[in-house]
């Protein structure tokens, strides 16, 4: 029987990110969330796993950088300091240049043997600036909202199951309506998954702010296009998610044995996986 560090059980919770990994590849889920805490006869040295976790896929770097910069700009607004588009874009370009200057060595794809062309950096620099320009253009519509939280990890419980969320922006309208906003830097190509993410945010806000679903609105803001997609959830919808999360969490924790976490190899997914190096089923060319 696998012996896990007791800390694992202290931090073990359900999140939308875990849900995505669980349904994409259970082997990746094992390496990401269980393997670092295995104390007895680990399949891979936990220190090796922790080192691999430092790599980041090139497909998520742009979004991370944009969210970090937007977070800083919102904090300036909260502190009654001027937000600055030019400074935001310059900061973004500098961060992209840092990745380029080291040849993308911290990218998962680079570590897995893929070359990162210069055109990649030019593309994310252009796309990132477009996203920031869109954010600043749309921000005027948010200044009548009281900012309650932004980019903070929050935790709540559904029964005995802990759930972790991180809402990009929580605003309160003058009439008391809560608005949960998620900034999207990519395409709108995952309708059902997005609804699950936003419904989970609503469940958190219902507990944290003691609100009913009809007092909470959610929206996606696509920063590449400026499109806003609003969502309104009813009791029946959030109840379905409230039942699904504990059920899936039970499945996630039914076993901690490595053989029970099957791989789902695909060239694109494996090339972007931090753990392809230690996964015998990874669909990448071995060096």
Q: What are the sequence ranges of the domains in the chain? A: 58-142, 146-233
Are 180 and 219 contacting, i.e. CB atoms less than 8 angstroms apart?
Answer: yes
Structure token digits, residue 39: 């104390």
pLDDT at residue number 188: 64
Average pLDDT, the chain: 94
Tokens 């950088």 correspond to 65
pLDDT at residue number 191: 52
Tokens 């998520």 correspond to 60
Contacts of 60 (CB under 8 A, 6+ apart): none
pLDDT at residue number 186: 84
Tens of pLDDT along 252-276?
999 999 999 999 999 999 999 999 9
Tokens 């253009």 correspond to 137
Which residues are 214's β-sheet partners? none
Angle at 182 between CA 179 and CA 184, to 5 degrees: 150
Task: Report how far apart, in Å, the C-alpha atoms of 242 and of each of 21, 113, 181 are.
Answer: 19, 41, 20
Contacts of 43 (CB under 8 A, 6+ apart): 35, 258
143 pLDDT above the threshold of 60: yes
Q: Give the whole-angstrom CA distance, residue 163 versus residue 249.
A: 10
Tokens 């789902």 correspond to 264
Tens of pLDDT along 69-125?
999 999 999 999 999 999 999 999 999 999 999 988 999 999 999 999 999 999 999
224 pLDDT above the threshold of 70: yes
Percent of the chain at pLDDT > 90 equals 91
Tens of pLDDT along 163-205?
999 999 999 999 999 999 999 998 766 554 689 999 999 999 9
Percent of the chain at pLDDT > 70 equals 97
Q: Long-range CB contacts (< 8 A, 24+ apart) of 78-81?
A: 78/147
Cite the beta strand spans of the chain per DSSP E. Answer: 14-15, 146-149, 152-158, 161-167, 169-172, 178-184, 216-222, 227-231
For the segment(s) 146-233, the CATH number from 3.40.50.720, 3.50.50.60, 3.40.720.10, 3.90.320.10 is: 3.90.320.10
Task: Report how far apart, in Å, the C-alpha atoms of 136 and of each of 95, 116, 131, 172, 286 are.
Answer: 19, 30, 9, 19, 45
pLDDT at residue number 48: 97
Are 128 and 96 contacting, i.e. CB atoms less than 8 angstroms apart?
Answer: yes
Instruction: Specify the length of the chain in residues.
Output: 287
């Amino acid at each position: 029987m696998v012996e896990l560090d007791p800390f694992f059980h202290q931090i073990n919770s359900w999140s939308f990110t875990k849900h995505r990994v669980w349904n994409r590849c259970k082997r990746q889920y094992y390496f990401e969330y269980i393997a670092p805490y295995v104390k007895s006869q680990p399949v891979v040295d936990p220190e090796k796993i922790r080192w691999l976790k430092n790599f980041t896929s090139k497909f998520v770097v742009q979004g991370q950088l944009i969210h970090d910069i937007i977070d800083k700009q919102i904090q300036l607004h909260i502190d009654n300091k001027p937000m600055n588009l030019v400074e935001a874009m310059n900061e973004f370009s500098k961060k992209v240049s840092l990745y380029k200057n080291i040849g993308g060595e911290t990218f998962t794809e680079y570590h897995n043997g893929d070359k990162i062309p210069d055109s990649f950096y030019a593309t994310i620099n252009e796309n990132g600036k477009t996203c920031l320009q869109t954010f600043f253009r749309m921000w005027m519509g948010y200044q009548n909202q009281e900012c309650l939280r932004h980019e903070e990890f929050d935790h709540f419980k559904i029964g005995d199951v802990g759930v972790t969320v991180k809402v990009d922006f929580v605003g309160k309208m003058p009439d008391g309506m809560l608005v949960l906003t998620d900034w999207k830097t990519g395409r709108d190509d995952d309708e059902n998954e997005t609804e699950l993410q936003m419904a989970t945010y609503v469940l958190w806000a219902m507990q944290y702010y003691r609100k009913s679903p009809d007092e909470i609105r959610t929206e996606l803001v696509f920063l590449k296009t400026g499109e806003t997609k609003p969502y309104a959830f009813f009791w029946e919808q959030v109840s379905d998610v409230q039942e699904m999360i504990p059920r899936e969490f039970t499945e996630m924790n039914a076993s901690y044995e490595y053989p029970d976490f099957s791989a789902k190899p695909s060239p694109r997914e494996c090339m972007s996986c931090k753990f392809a190096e230690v996964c015998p089923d990874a669909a990448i060319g071995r060096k």
